[in-house]
């Protein structure tokens, strides 16, 4: 065993497996991430069922969709949850007289801050901004505007597995000095292993805590690690955990909420309503939509690539997996 490096890693652990951590919040992304599978064409009944299930299950935030401007994407093509107009949200949640907060996601270049009302006129509580590293200035503009209007805000920096450490450090420093409330560690391609998640979580936590912010995690299931990485990150101090019922989401999908509930010890989280929802709504949905772990998404995850080649592979009903692998690893130099 001469070529084995032995090294000791120190993990600053928050809580044990029986500790209730009041800082932990569950963010349901079933409609928002699931909408990427069907262009947001969920029926009102389905959205209401997710909302009601989340309320009784003890979910903290319900992300109902995106706030894209109808001037850039057409309601003829995309369902209402791509736009989340106030009256559409209220049709589902009324005045939302519950303990669960309502979140929406803003898209860089497609969400216009002029179209966002002040918080006092909206049932929305939180605006989440997902962006690539070069879009940080645009993202911060939306965040500062939303912050001034009275919303909680998150910044979800995507595709960091393609970003080098010094660029990431520089961007996180800028983000940490903004008014954003929560900084999200996002594994867009489902490519990170637990060791990388621990290292990144420590980086995010250090900076966030210095600036009185919290950290969230959004994982994808390309390598069947979404749940595992979510709890590893939580153990290292992450507070906001994104999940979707049955892992519904584009490609390999997300961290399945029913798995996450098996790990959480806070009795406010109740798994039985989730199981009923899966029986009544997910079993039929699987006949219409396809999502979840599958070999093509495993390949893009292993190779740290965007899932678009896997989506195209499946759409063309291809099964020549090793050819896909070879296509993605062709030497370019």
Q: Which of 272, 289, 312, 327 binds a second copy (CB under 8 A)?
A: 272
- Collapsed DSSP state (helix, strand, coil) of residue 322: helix
In the complex, minimum distance from the CB of residue 183 to a second copy, in angstroms, rounded to a whole number: 17
Cα–Cα distances in Å, from 36 out to 178, 195, 289, 303?
A: 29, 29, 11, 22
In the complex, minimum distance from the CB of residue 319 to a second copy, in angstroms, rounded to a whole number: 5
Closest CA to 82 of 105, 62, 112: 105
Here the tokens at position 214 are: 């919290």
- Interface of this chain with a second copy, residues 200 to 259, rule: CB under 8 A: 221, 223-229, 231-232, 235, 256, 258-259
CA distance 85 to 82: 9
Q: Which of 118, 279, 289, 312 binds a second copy (CB under 8 A)?
A: 279
DSSP 122: -
Q: Which of 74, 211, 290, 319 binds a second copy (CB under 8 A)?
A: 319
Residue nearer to a second copy on the CB measure, 82 or 254: 254
Closest CA to 54 of 19, 83, 27, 20: 27
Q: Residue 163 phi/psi, 5° resolution?
A: -105, 135
In the complex, minimum distance from the CB of residue 202 to a second copy, in angstroms, rounded to a whole number: 12
Q: Which of 85, 88, 145, 276 binds a second copy (CB under 8 A)?
A: 276
Q: Which of 9, 287, 288, 315 binds a second copy (CB under 8 A)?
A: 9
* CA atoms lying within 13 Å on the CB side of residue 114: 3
In the complex, minimum distance from the CB of residue 74 to a second copy, in angstroms, rounded to a whole number: 37
CA distance 107 to 14: 33
Binding site for a second copy (CB under 8 A): 1, 3-17, 19-23, 193-196, 221, 223-229, 231-232, 235, 256, 258-259, 262-263, 271-273, 275-276, 278-279, 283, 293, 295, 298-299, 301-302, 319-322, 325-326
């Amino acid at each position: 065993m001469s070529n084995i490096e032995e090294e000791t890693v120190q993990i600053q652990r928050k809580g044990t497996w029986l500790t209730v951590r009041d800082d932990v919040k569950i963010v349901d992304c079933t409609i928002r991430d699931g909408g990427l599978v069907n262009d947001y064409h969920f029926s009102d009944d389905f959205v209401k069922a997710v909302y009601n299930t989340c309320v009784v299950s003890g979910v903290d935030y319900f992300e109902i969709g995106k706030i894209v401007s109808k001037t850039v994407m057409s309601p003829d093509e995309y369902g209402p949850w791509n736009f989340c107009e106030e009256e559409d949200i209220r049709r589902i949640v009324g005045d939302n007289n519950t303990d669960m907060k309502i979140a929406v996601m803003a898209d860089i270049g497609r969400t216009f801050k002029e179209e966002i009302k002040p918080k006092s006129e909206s049932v929305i509580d939180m605006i989440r901004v997902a962006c690539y590293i070069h879009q940080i200035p645009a993202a911060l503009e939306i965040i500062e505007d939303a912050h001034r209007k009275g919303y909680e805000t998150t910044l979800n920096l995507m595709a960091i597995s393609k970003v080098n450490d010094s660029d990431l450090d520089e961007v996180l420093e800028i983000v940490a000095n903004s008014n954003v409330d929560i900084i999200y560690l996002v594994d867009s391609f489902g490519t990170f292993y637990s060791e990388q998640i621990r290292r990144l979580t420590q980086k995010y936590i250090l900076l966030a805590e210095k600036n009185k912010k919290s950290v969230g995690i959004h994982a994808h299931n390309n390598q069947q690690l979404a749940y595992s990485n979510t709890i590893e990150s939580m153990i290292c101090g992450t507070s906001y955990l994104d999940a979707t019922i049955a892992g519904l989401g584009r490609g390999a999908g997300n961290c399945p909420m029913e798995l996450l509930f098996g790990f959480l010890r806070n009795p406010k989280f109740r798994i039985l309503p989730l199981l009923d929802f899966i029986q009544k709504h997910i079993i039929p949905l699987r006949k219409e939509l396809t999502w979840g772990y599958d070999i093509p998404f495993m390949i893009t995850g292993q190779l740290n690539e965007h899932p678009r080649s896997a989506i195209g592979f499946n759409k063309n009903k291809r099964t020549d997996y090793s050819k896909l692998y070879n296509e993605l690893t062709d030497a370019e130099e």
